[in-house]
């Protein structure tokens, strides 16, 4: 699996420390081995150990105190990864995630979509609309736009059962590294209100989100409406 020997040493150290935290070998608020000890454990130089620790500090998993050592952050570990997607979040909370696909088609990008995805108006985008459910209860209506050129033949996948994020990563090597999200409220009526609230109207939580890959290229523009009484948006903010 992971531990292949061509993996850089610093990544092995990161993996090792994360595993120790998950296993409870290193406990929340407790110290991890000193840099010197990690050098000996992994038979490497101090700079290599420090590269690993720097990365764990920047993701919020560890914090350091000069003269004292490095410690496991006391923020709940699971929350440190925010970009999980609906499917994974629901799975972790013990619900069965499912989706009902309302539409899935290629359309030319409108002016708004083209601006968000930084493509030319009229370029083709995949438009995927889904109802997201947890254990059968509708929690959100999600409209996603994806640049067709980045995801050729996407129509062969069936997103009522597949996770969109998993498919993008596995089949296209596209991973959302960073997203910019705006959240507010909006009155909904008609079909949307029926789906979310089983009423003629209601107030939904609305999220606009642009997802970027590692080269800071936009690869996803999403507009989602949530039943904000049944669902919360969790985010972690770094300075």
Partner DNA sequence: TAGTGGTCTAGACCACTCA
Partner DNA sequence: GAGTGGTCTAGACCACTAT
23 makes contact with a copy of itself (CB under 8 A): no
Q: Compute the least distance from the CB of residue 101 to a copy of itself, in Å.
A: 25
Q: Residue 202 in contact with residue 172, Cβ under 8 Å? A: no
How deeply is 139 buried, as exposed, middle or buried, from its count of CB atoms within 10 A (0-12, 13-18, 19+)?
A: buried
Local structure of residue 154 (DSSP, 8 states) = G
162 makes contact with DNA (CB under 7 A): no
Q: Which does 122 bind (CB under 5 to 8 A by kind): a copy of itself, DNA, none?
A: none
Element holding 54 (H helix, E strand): helix 46-58
How crowded is residue 98: how many other Cβ atoms within 10 Å of its Cβ?
18
Residue number with CB closer to DNA (64 or 91): 64
- Which residue reads 């995805």 in tokens? 117
Q: Pick the piece of the chain touching a copy of itself (CB under 8 A) from 11-19, 101-109, 147-155, 175-183.
A: 175-183
Residue of 106, 180, 191, 199 interacting with a copy of itself (CB under 8 A) = 180
200 makes contact with a copy of itself (CB under 8 A): no
How crowded is residue 149: how many other Cβ atoms within 10 Å of its Cβ?
10
190 makes contact with DNA (CB under 7 A): no
Q: Residue 200 in contact with residue 183, Cβ under 8 Å? A: no
Binding site for a copy of itself (CB under 8 A): 29, 47, 54-55, 58-60, 63, 65, 71, 73-76, 79, 81-83, 118, 175-186, 203-205, 212, 214-217, 228-229, 231-239
């Amino acid at each position: 699996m992971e531990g292949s020997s061509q993996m850089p040493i610093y990544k092995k150290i990161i993996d090792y420390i994360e595993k120790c935290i998950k296993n409870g070998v290193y406990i929340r608020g407790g110290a991890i081995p000193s840099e010197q000890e990690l050098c000996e454990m992994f038979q490497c130089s101090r700079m290599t150990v420090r590269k690993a620790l720097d990365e764990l500090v920047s993701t919020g998993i560890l914090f350091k105190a000069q003269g004292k050592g490095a410690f496991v952050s006391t923020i709940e570990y699971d929350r440190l990864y925010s970009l999980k997607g609906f499917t994974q979040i629901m799975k972790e909370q013990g619900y069965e995630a499912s989706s009902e696909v309302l539409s899935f088609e290629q359309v030319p990008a409108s002016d708004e979509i083209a601006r968000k995805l930084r493509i030319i108006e009229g370029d083709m985008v995949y438009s995927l609309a889904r109802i997201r459910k947890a254990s059968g209860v509708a929690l959100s209506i999600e409209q996603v736009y994806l640049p067709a050129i980045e995801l050729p033949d996407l129509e062969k996948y069936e997103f009522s059962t597949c996770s969109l994020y998993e498919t993008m990563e596995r089949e296209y090597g596209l991973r959302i590294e960073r997203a910019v999200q705006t959240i507010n409220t909006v009155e909904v009526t008609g079909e949307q209100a029926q789906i979310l609230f089983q009423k003629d109207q209601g107030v939904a939580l609305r999220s606009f989100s642009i997802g970027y890959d590692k080269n800071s290229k936009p690869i996803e523009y999403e507009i989602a409406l949530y039943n904000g009484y049944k669902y919360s948006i969790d985010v972690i903010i770094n300075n």
